[in-house]
A = this chain, B = another copy of it.
């Protein structure tokens, strides 16, 4: 993992170091919890996947669901974004993933049709994920999906279904009654921090990805060389926040990283976007995260490169050396590009953009994945989870709550007379 920074003049070494100092006690606290294996703090998400029992459960799962060719995930937000992020990078087409997140009649109709086309129930795995067991979207989607599949495949569909959530929810009890598989996640770990619990690891296993490599990378984020980088990045983001930068642009320079950006956007927005800090003080500023891809060089690029005030860019990319194609010598349409490979052109675009940012003095950080992709994704996600906790600590906000989404949920329930 290669990480570099380019700051504008307003960000001083002093300010960064000052923030790093503010983190000292918290860093020691997390390190102690990790060593002790403390299961009662929300930071447990950073080392929960050390648990041996979890690995055994996943190995058993892998064996049992060997013939699966289509995984349907029913979940939303913290229950789906992490898994989608990893799958969209690692997807080789071997196992199909369908996700039912928000409520859309057209979408569920299409998913049911494609699952029915699998013909054999042993090819299907359905994961129903709701931490609380009470997410309206997930319950509506799961009810309609499972009813439709039961009509085709009979009760056998429950043998291919897995319910995941906090221990003891009504949803899990219901699943157990139907004979479905039940996996629990630790209650203390919030949804947006749950990618390396059963929430992410069960569907990743069903999809055939290298979960061991992912976990190895994930746990390596706790090592000193990575942890100190995280502290530096967090200190920097907190400086930008204090200087009232308004926009945080996650620039997925490899299009397959766009979903990783959406996962990070959730993590960042939900953890840091609060009305009041821990001292009860009203916050009048927030950085709003957005996600870009190289397509935006031909669209929002104009805006970002105009130096729109107070935007920080977060370039993330990887070298794709497994697949490459050369532009043939002698091709007259692309005569000037003859002999280059697609990867070389992509790298030149990346270099061109980074060069333009430097010349225009626009602040950014750049991350390039260099090791195996499952390992890099694990490392990257764990570093970002830790980072957002660190930023919250410096800003004195609660990284783990989300008080403002309750209002729309209440109003929705009023409309439905629930």
A contact residues vs B (CB 8 Å cutoff): 76-78, 80-81, 93, 101-110, 135-137, 139-140, 142-144, 146-148, 171, 174, 191-192, 246-247, 254-256, 262, 265-266, 269-270, 272-275, 283-286, 288-290, 293-309, 311, 320, 322-325, 327-328, 331-334, 336-337, 340-349, 351-353, 355-356, 359-360, 402-405, 407-416, 418
Contacts and interface: CB of A to CB of B under 8 A. Distances in A.
> Nearest 10 pairs between A and B by C-beta?
A77-B298, A273-B303, A352-B412, A266-B299, A143-B334, A352-B411, A102-B294, A269-B303, A355-B411, A356-B408
Contacts of A352: 408-415
Given A137-B349, A302-B270, A309-B285, A337 B143 contact: yes
A348 B103 CA distance: 10
A85 to B, nearest CB: 12
Given A136-B337, A143-B328, A285-B309, 5 more contacts: A81-B295, A144-B325, A246-B288, A305-B404, A355-B408
B298 A78 contact: yes
A309 B310 CA distance: 15
**Which secondary structure dominates where chain A touches chain B?**
helix
A283 to B, nearest CB: 8
Contact of A290 (B288, B301, B344): B288
Residue of A302, A311, A320 contacting most chain B CB atoms (<10 Å)? A302
B311 A103 contact: no
A250 to B, nearest CB: 11
A287 B152 CA distance: 51
Contact of A349 (B269, B345, B407, B412): B412
B405 A305 contact: yes
A159 B103 CA distance: 43
A109 B309 contact: no
Contacts of A320: 104-106
A176 to B, nearest CB: 12
Given A270-B299, A298-B405, A333 B174 contact: yes
Contacts of A144: 325, 327, 342
B342 A302 contact: no
Contacts of A327: 140, 143-144
Contact of A328 (B147, B273, B333, B346): B147
Contact of A333 (B171, B247, B289): B171
A151 B352 CA distance: 33
A407 B103 contact: no
A332 B297 CA distance: 49
A140 to B, nearest CB: 5
Contacts of A102: 255, 293-295, 297, 346, 349
